[in-house]
Structure 1
Amino acid sequence: MSNLNSLNMSIAQIRYFIKVVECNSFTKASQQLNMSQSSISKNISSLEQTLELQLFIRENKRIIITEAGIYLYKEFKEAIKKIDQAIDESHILQGGYSNNLTIGGLDAHRPDAFVLPLVKKFKKVYKNISIQVENWSVQDVRHKLIDGELDIIFTVLYDVEQLNKEIFDYKVVAECTLSVGMLETNPLCEKSEITILDLKDSHFVSISPQYTPSYNHLLKEICTSHGFQPKITYYTSSANSLISNLRNNKEVFICDEFYRDYLNKSVCWKPLKGTISGIAVAWKKDNKKKSVRLFIDSINL
Structure 2
Amino acid sequence: MNFAKITLLQIEYFLAVAKYLNFTEAAKSLYISQPSLSKQIALLEQEIGTPLFLRGKRNVHLTPAGEVLFKELRGIKEGIENAIDKCRQAGLGENCTMTIACLDAMDTAMFLPEIIKRFRKQYPNITLFFERHTFKTLREKLINGSIDVVFTLSFEIDDALGILYEEICKVNSSIVMSSQHPLANREYLTLEDVRGENFVLITRDESPRGFDSVINVCRKHGFTPHIVKQLPNVESLLLSVELGIGITLFDSSIRVHNKNELKFFKIEDDIISIVMAWRKENLNPAVPLFVNSVLNKTF
Fold shared by both chains (TM-score > 0.5): yes
Deviation at 1:296, TM superposition (A): 1.0
Residue 221 (structure 1) aligned to one of 195, 216, 220: 216
Does structure 1 residue 194 correspond to structure 2 residue 183? no
Unaligned runs of 5+ residues in structure 2 are: 1-92
The secondary structure found in structure 1 opposite 2:273 is strand
Deviations 1:35-69 (A, max 9, x none): xxxxxxxxxxxxxxxxxxxxxxxxxxxxxxxxxxx
Does structure 1 residue 171 correspond to structure 2 residue 169? no
- Once residues 260 and 242 of structure 2 are traced to their aligned partners in structure 1, the CA distance between those partners, rounded to angstroms, is 16
Residue 254 (structure 1) aligned to one of 237, 249, 253: 249
- Once residues 112 and 169 of structure 2 are traced to their aligned partners in structure 1, the CA distance between those partners, rounded to angstroms, is 11
Would the aligned equivalents of 1:97 and 1:129 in 2 still touch at CA under 8 Å?
Answer: yes
Does structure 1 residue 264 correspond to structure 2 residue 259? yes
- Once residues 191 and 278 of structure 1 are traced to their aligned partners in structure 2, the CA distance between those partners, rounded to angstroms, is 27
What root-mean-square deviation, in Å, do the aligned CA atoms of Structure 1 and Structure 2 show? 2.3
Q: Which moved more, 1:209-218 or 1:274-283?
A: 209-218
Pairing 1:150-161 to 2, within 5 Å after superposition: 150-161=147-158
Taking structure 2 as the reference length, the TM-score comes to 0.63
Deviation at 1:173, TM superposition (A): 0.8
Aligned twin of 2:107: 110
1:138/1:247 Cα in 2 relative to 1: closer, same or farther (>3 Å)? Answer: closer
Deviation at 1:264, TM superposition (A): 0.6
- Once residues 247 and 255 of structure 1 are traced to their aligned partners in structure 2, the CA distance between those partners, rounded to angstroms, is 14
1:204/1:279 Cα in 2 relative to 1: closer, same or farther (>3 Å)? Answer: same
- Once residues 267 and 162 of structure 1 are traced to their aligned partners in structure 2, the CA distance between those partners, rounded to angstroms, is 33
Would the aligned equivalents of 1:194 and 1:273 in 2 still touch at CA under 8 Å?
Answer: no
Aligned twin of 1:274: 269
Deviations 1:256-282 (A, max 9, x none): 222111771111111112110231100
Deviations 1:152-171 (A, max 9, x none): 1111122122523xx11111
Deviation at 1:250, TM superposition (A): 7.7
Aligned twin of 2:238: 243
- Once residues 194 and 208 of structure 1 are traced to their aligned partners in structure 2, the CA distance between those partners, rounded to angstroms, is 25
Residue 137 (structure 1) aligned to one of 131, 134, 138: 134
- Once residues 112 and 185 of structure 1 are traced to their aligned partners in structure 2, the CA distance between those partners, rounded to angstroms, is 28
Would the aligned equivalents of 2:175 and 2:191 in 1 still touch at CA under 8 Å?
Answer: no
Pairing 1:31-42 to 2, within 5 Å after superposition: none
Pairing 1:76-87 to 2, within 5 Å after superposition: none
The secondary structure found in structure 2 opposite 1:279 is strand
Deviations 1:67-93 (A, max 9, x none): xxxxxxxxxxxxxxxxxxxxxxxxxxx
Aligned length: 205
The secondary structure found in structure 2 opposite 1:172 is strand
- Once residues 188 and 173 of structure 1 are traced to their aligned partners in structure 2, the CA distance between those partners, rounded to angstroms, is 33
1:229/1:293 Cα in 2 relative to 1: closer, same or farther (>3 Å)? Answer: same
1:171/1:286 Cα in 2 relative to 1: closer, same or farther (>3 Å)? Answer: same
- Once residues 272 and 152 of structure 1 are traced to their aligned partners in structure 2, the CA distance between those partners, rounded to angstroms, is 29
Aligned twin of 1:230: 225
The secondary structure found in structure 2 opposite 1:185 is coil
1:216/1:119 Cα in 2 relative to 1: closer, same or farther (>3 Å)? Answer: same
Would the aligned equivalents of 1:256 and 1:262 in 2 still touch at CA under 8 Å?
Answer: no
The secondary structure found in structure 2 opposite 1:180 is strand
- Once residues 115 and 265 of structure 2 are traced to their aligned partners in structure 1, the CA distance between those partners, rounded to angstroms, is 28
1:219/1:250 Cα in 2 relative to 1: closer, same or farther (>3 Å)? Answer: same
Deviation at 1:133, TM superposition (A): 1.0
Give the % identical residues.
26
Deviations 1:281-301 (A, max 9, x none): 001122233311111111122
The secondary structure found in structure 2 opposite 1:265 is helix
1:195/1:204 Cα in 2 relative to 1: closer, same or farther (>3 Å)? Answer: same
Unaligned runs of 5+ residues in structure 1 are: 1-95
- Once residues 96 and 187 of structure 2 are traced to their aligned partners in structure 1, the CA distance between those partners, rounded to angstroms, is 49
Deviations 1:116-172 (A, max 9, x none): 3322221121101111111111111111110011111111122122523xx111111
- Once residues 146 and 245 of structure 2 are traced to their aligned partners in structure 1, the CA distance between those partners, rounded to angstroms, is 41
Deviation at 1:186, TM superposition (A): 2.5
Would the aligned equivalents of 1:193 and 1:272 in 2 still touch at CA under 8 Å?
Answer: no
Letter of the 1:117 partner, please give it. E
